[in-house]
């Protein structure tokens, strides 16, 4: 039921403001939305947002309409997610925050990231059939990512690329006016790539308290749109919330056990195990994914020793943590920290 999920009305309001008064009714055609009610509505349905974008494409006088719309969006347009991304400690964590919570702004898109040996890859793809609108959505989303990278770096660094999973459109020459990074068409995916070393660049607007507070609000918003039957995502969200607090130093409590998570989800441990198995997963697997990501973040912070990190991640002794880390990365924690 993706098309019925709540979607912020902000983007539709921005489109309305940019649309001549005589065409605004056509912009909202087929959505049951009214211009008057949008002024105080926080959310609309995902299918209404998509229909508005279809209408905007039909009404557009220029093929670069989505690119032009993307330039009108600022951090306030993205709500809590925008503040969380900008207040993150590093560029890598900023992009990962964007990926983790982008669904609360566009639940009809699937975002991902991957740390390759020499580069970081950010990807986006639709969860619904969008037809000719898919290119416009890529243009919008990738401008947001491009602007985020530019804000952190100050100027676009060598090696950063916008990847586009479609041939060059008729307005391809316009892309250089809207993107700071060079664009490459006919790629296997749509997204961005940047050198892995840039992920450690500190965010100039980093504020630990603002980051922690924004992350908590994003978690609450994400929980609202998670399918109640999607137990894997619900468990992953709970574990991520715990380890985010560990990584930011706001919680040094015990690692949640299966019984604890089952109680939070109002089910028995046996039911939780069974529901996770139906989705091809298990609690230990999900816990290790959360521990793995947090281990990398904590090893990047000089204030923690390897022994302290092992305890924070829930390992009974450093040797167990070391064995797990070698299994994950084929190197010892200390070696990873030095690299």
pLDDT in tens, 109-118: 999 988 887 8
Domain presence at residue 153 = yes
Same-domain status, 248 and 195: no
Please return the burial class of 327, using the count of CB atoms within 10 Å of its CB with bins 0-12, 13-18 and 19+: exposed
Same-domain status, 99 and 180: yes
Domain presence at residue 260 = yes
SS3 call for 141? helix
CATH assignment of the domain containing 263: 1.10.10.60
Please give the span between the terminal C-alpha atoms of the chain, in angstroms, as a whole number. Answer: 45
pLDDT at position 248 over 80: no
Same-domain status, 324 and 241: yes
How far is the C-alpha of 243 from the C-alpha of 293, rounded, in Å?
9
pLDDT band at residue 139 under the 50/70/90 scheme = very high
DSSP 254: P
Instruction: Please state the φ and ψ torsions of residue 328, each to the nearest 5 degrees.
Output: -75, -45
Domain presence at residue 211 = no
pLDDT band at residue 132 under the 50/70/90 scheme = confident
What's the rounded mean pLDDT across residues 124-149? 91
How far is the C-alpha of 180 from the C-alpha of 142, rounded, in Å?
11
Predicted local distance difference test score (pLDDT) of residue 77:
80
| Measured CA distances, 265 to 238, 245, 275, 286 (Å) | 10, 20, 12, 15
Q: What is the Cα Rg of the chain in Å?
A: 21
pLDDT tens digit sequence for 72-107: 887 778 889 999 999 999 999 899 899 989 989 999
Same-domain status, 13 and 96: no
Q: Looking at 16, 34, 61, which one is the last position of a domain? A: 61
Predicted local distance difference test score (pLDDT) of residue 116:
82
Mean pLDDT of the residues in the chain:
89
Q: Looking at 33, 61, 89, which one is the last position of a domain? A: 61
Predicted local distance difference test score (pLDDT) of residue 234:
87
What's the rounded mean pLDDT across residues 212-232? 85
Does the predicted model carry a pTM greater than 0.75? yes
What's the rounded mean pLDDT across residues 237-264? 84
How far is the C-alpha of 243 from the C-alpha of 308, rounded, in Å?
14
pLDDT at position 134 over 80: yes
Number of structural domains (the chain) is: 3
How far is the C-alpha of 177 from the C-alpha of 266, rounded, in Å?
52
pLDDT at position 252 over 80: no
Predicted local distance difference test score (pLDDT) of residue 317:
85
Residue numbers of the domain that contains 22 = 2-61
Same-domain status, 196 and 246: no
Provide the b/e sequence for 193-226 (b: ≥16 CB within 10 Å): bbebebbebebebbeeeebbbbbbbbbebbeeeb
**Angle, CA 216 vertex, CA 210 and CA 219 arms, to 5°:** 140
pLDDT at position 27 over 90: yes
pLDDT tens digit sequence for 165-214: 999 999 999 999 999 999 999 999 999 999 988 988 999 999 888 888 89
More confident site: 269 or 316: 269
Domain presence at residue 206 = no
Domain presence at residue 281 = yes
pLDDT at position 70 over 80: yes
Predicted local distance difference test score (pLDDT) of residue 258:
92
Same-domain status, 113 and 44: no
Predicted local distance difference test score (pLDDT) of residue 48:
93
Q: Residue 234's CB: how many other CB atoms inside 10 A?
A: 20
DSSP 174: G
């Amino acid at each position: 039921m993706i098309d019925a999920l709540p979607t912020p009305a902000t983007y539709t309001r921005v489109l309305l403001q940019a649309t001549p008064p005589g065409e605004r009714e056509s912009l909202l055609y087929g959505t049951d939305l009214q211009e008057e009610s949008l002024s105080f509505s926080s959310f609309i349905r995902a299918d209404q947002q998509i229909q508005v974008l279809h209408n905007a494409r039909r009404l557009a006088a220029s093929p670069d309409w989505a690119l032009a719309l993307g330039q009108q969006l600022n951090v306030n347009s993205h709500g809590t997610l925008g503040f969380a991304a900008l207040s993150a400690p590093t560029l890598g964590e900023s992009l990962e925050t964007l990926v983790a919570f982008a669904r609360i702004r566009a639940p009809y898109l699937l975002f991902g990231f991957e740390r390759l040996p020499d580069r970081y890859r950010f990807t986006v793809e639709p969860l619904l059939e969008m037809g000719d609108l898919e290119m416009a959505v890529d243009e919008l989303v990738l401008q947001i990512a491009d602007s985020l990278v530019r804000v952190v770096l100050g100027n676009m660094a060598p090696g950063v690329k916008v990847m586009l999973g479609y041939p060059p459109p008729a307005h391809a020459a316009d892309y250089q006016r809207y993107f700071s990074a060079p664009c490459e068409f006919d790629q296997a995916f749509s997204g961005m790539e940047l050198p892995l070393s840039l992920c450690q660049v500190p965010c100039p607007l980093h504020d630990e308290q603002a980051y922690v507070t924004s992350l908590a609000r994003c978690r609450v918003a994400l929980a609202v749109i998670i399918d109640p039957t999607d137990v894997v995502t619900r468990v992953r969200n709970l574990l991520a919330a715990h380890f985010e607090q560990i990584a930011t130093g706001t919680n040094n409590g015990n690692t949640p056990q299966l019984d604890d998570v089952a109680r939070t989800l109002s089910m028995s441990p046996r039911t939780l195990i069974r529901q996770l198995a139906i989705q091809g997963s298990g609690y230990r697997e999900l816990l290790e994914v959360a521990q793995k990501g947090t281990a990398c973040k904590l090893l990047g912070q000089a204030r923690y020793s390897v022994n302290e990190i092992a305890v924070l991640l829930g390992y009974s002794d450093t040797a167990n943590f070391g064995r797990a880390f070698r299994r994950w990365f084929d190197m010892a924690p200390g070696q990873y920290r030095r690299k």
